[in-house]
Amino acid sequence: MDLLLHPEFEKNQTLYLSYNKFKKVDGKTVSTTAIMMAKLSGNQLTEQKDIFVAEPYQSTRRHYGAKMIFAKDGYLYFSVGERGDHEKNPQSLDNNSLGKIHRIHADGSIPKDNPFLSDKKVVPSTYSYGHRNPQGLAVNPKNGEIISHEHGPRGGDELNLILPKKNYGWPVISYGINYNGTILTNRTAKEGMEQPLHYWVPSIAPSGLAFANGNIYKGWDNNVMIGSLKYSYLNRCELVNNKVVKEELLFQNIGRVRDVRTSPDGYLYITVENPGIIYKLVPVN
């Protein structure tokens, strides 16, 4: 699902893979989101070790989340979707990893200042909850803030500022409706639940998230780049005081944009499906 290099990869050759982990229970296949740490030795993955496995396993085959980042605080953050069971998982803090964003050390151990450690029923890696299916995570290079986006149902895709111990509302509040057109909830806001920085109706099916480097892309400083699976474009969002003030649709009909990344040298790359192509974005002036 995702691939992330350790911040000191050149020294330790350590990387991380998020993937769908399967097992059989009473003859039935169930799966979950897992994070594997491994080392790249030549062209082989060695010392493979799961450092996180989300609970509970589910029989559904959707909403894994599975995006990973290293933030400026040095911790590994990653998303786990609610696996399609919105009635149970995203609002549950009772031994439930699903519909959450998590924070751990690079070796998988738990930071001592994680926000829910005082509650023994909460999975100790939990950082925030009430998420549907976050498939974008990025660190703002200006201030170190963590930004995420997640799929809404039919409408209501969200861009969120991720803060510790906050509840992002799914499915109690939402700007979307059920896929069959029925009303999911009549509330878009509730006390104690976070509002998105921005939301999309209709859904754009966001995938991939990165900040543009203003030194390379003049005029795009602090702009957020988001792929659209549904409409096959790259969405440039101008972010001012944590609000999207303008959107520009780039490369329309290029194909389903699966991921957006900023390389170490500051250039943007996008991956597009069918056929699978990686594009490098190069300014023309």
Q: Which residues contact 41 (CB under 8 A, 6 or more apart)?
A: 13
- Sign of the Cα torsion 49, 99, 135, 109 reads negative
The span from the CA of 142 to the CA of 154, in Å, is: 33
CA atoms within 13 A on the CB side of 80: 31
Phi-psi region of 120 (alpha: psi -120 to 50; beta: other; left: phi over 0): alpha
Residue 82: which of 68, 94, 96 has the closest Cα? 96
Residues 6+ apart with CB under 8 A from 220: 212, 213, 214, 236
The residue annotated as part of the active site, out of 6, 63, 131, 198, is 63
Q: In what order do the strands lie in the sheet with 277-281?
A: 257-262, 268-272, 277-281
DSSP code of 275? T
Question: Active site includes 6?
Answer: no
Burial class (CB in 10 A: 0-12, 13-18, 19+), 210: buried
Catalytic positions, written as ranges: 63
